[in-house]
Amino acid sequence: EVQLVESGGGLVQPGGSLRLSCVASGFTFGDYWMSWVRQSPGKGLEWVGNLNQDGSVKDYAESVKGRFTISRDNVKRTLFLQMDRLNVGDTALYYCARDDRSASMRPWGQGTLVTVSS
């Protein structure tokens, strides 16, 4: 069974940093592009970014470009999201998801909650 399990969320002050992790199982992790997507009550679902199989190609939404960095460790089957200079608008439930050839994501993990507040 394909599984994605996120961790690393929590409460952080504006301007702070957080690193999220997503551990994959049930498939050959290194064969797939992977994405991060976030969900907040105010903004709904928002694609954050993705990266290719070896981590050499990365793409980010404009709202996070220059502040967030996606990376991966294929040996540890883990996807990361380094979030710097966080602001209250980044408060959301963050999901990792596996990309497929149809330019969408399936499946998604259960999410990890990030709250940015003073």
Which positions touch other proteins (CB under 8 A)?
Answer: 44-47, 59, 61-62, 95, 100, 102-111
Token representation of residue 5: 């399990």
Residue 14 or 106 having the CB closest to other proteins: 106
Least separation in angstroms between CB 7 and other proteins: 14
Least separation in angstroms between CB 102 and other proteins: 4
Least separation in angstroms between CB 116 and other proteins: 21
Beta partners for 18?
83
Q: How far apart are CA 72 and CA 107, in angstroms?
A: 18
SS3 for 50?
Answer: strand
